[in-house]
Amino acid sequence: MTQMDTDKPDPVAELPDSPVADVSPASPAAEATPDDPETTGQPGNADNLEPSNPATEQPSSPLDEHAGQRLVVIKHHALVRLSHWLNVPILFAMIVSGLSIYWASPVFVHKPDPITHSRDYLADLGIAIARLIPGSEVNPSWFYNHFAIGVYNLAGALRWHWLFVYLFLANGILYLLGLILGRGYRALLPRRSMIGDSLAMIRYYAGVVPMKLARRPWPHPEVTTKYNALQRGAYASMPIAGALALASGWAMHKPVQFWWLERMFGSYDGARIVHFIVMIYFVLFLIPHVVLVLVDGWDTMRSMIVGWSARIGGAE
């Protein structure tokens, strides 16, 4: 294994629980808890989970001064965690109401189908899904009745959309604040090595299932940063996608007062199409995001709730 994108020696990476190893929170290495109750030492400011100076610490041989303490990695600022979870109901509501708004006047349409009477590609997708589900009605409303808040509900959908867009905006500000306060933005900035690292990760993901089936070793590329290169790109793209969703949304919502926004997207319909594509992008992000966090294990999931990780070695 090679150090791919670190420029200084990393004492913690030498720990037995390296990034590749499966470190469950219950493993003895992660719960390095010395027995000596007498020593107190210099505790980290646990209330703010402020980092102490990791360079001077020797976690591989727990010193007495760290009695009753635990070495953890500070991963996510409280505001980042809060806005992350708030995004779940907000994006859900934005997408289901947005699709019901889309129903009122679809952008991607074709000549009416003689059998289904559909003239809308999204409705066609719904028809294709409905045909696979025994006992379900096959009609152009199916998609909007199951992936949105229904047909003939434009007024209701607009209420949801305006309610949640202001929450989305406020939540985006919370997230950016959290990124700055927790200095998490550093893990999202592009790095020189990201193209090569991304290729290594793509190669790894492509091979992980076949190699498992073949029972051959398939080591995870070493990652010494918070995120691997693909994660870094995907997570960094999220605030950009959010800003694009807001910009294209406001371009259609207020095309007169924000005429320059409408111009930015070429035209009114240009903004509609960008808005739609960003929604698809959010959905496409969500699928591997959820699958990988489930595969990666409890520590990763928990770190988005409590903010810390027991995986001292780094990200996976």
User: Footprint of other proteins on residues 117-176 (CB under 8 A)?
Assistant: 145-146, 149-150, 153-156, 158-160, 162-163, 166
Binding characters for other proteins, 177-216, by CB under 8 A (x = yes): ---------xx-----------------------------
Cβ neighbors of 110 (< 8 A, separation 6 or more) are 119, 120, 121
Give yes or no for residue 224 binding other proteins (CB under 8 A). yes
Using CB under 8 A, pick the residue from 69, 171, 231, 248 that binds other proteins: 69
Give yes or no for residue 47 binding other proteins (CB under 8 A). yes
Give yes or no for residue 266 binding other proteins (CB under 8 A). no
Give yes or no for residue 229 binding other proteins (CB under 8 A). no
In which element (H, E) is residue 309 found? strand 308-309
- Token readout for 106 is 């679809």
Give yes or no for residue 255 binding other proteins (CB under 8 A). yes
Long-range contacts of 149-156 (CB under 8 A, 24+ apart): 149/96, 149/97, 149/100, 150/100, 151/100, 151/103, 153/100, 154/100, 154/101, 154/103, 154/104, 156/97, 156/100
Task: Please report, as a single letter, which amino acid is at residue 206.
Answer: A
In which element (H, E) is residue 308 found? strand 308-309
Which of 190/259 has CB closer to other proteins? 259
Using CB under 8 A, pick the residue from 1, 36, 43, 190 that binds other proteins: 43
Give yes or no for residue 287 binding other proteins (CB under 8 A). no
Rounded-to-integer distance, Cα 29 and Cα 178, Å: 30
User: Footprint of other proteins on residues 71-90 (CB under 8 A)?
Assistant: 71-75, 81, 85-86, 88-89
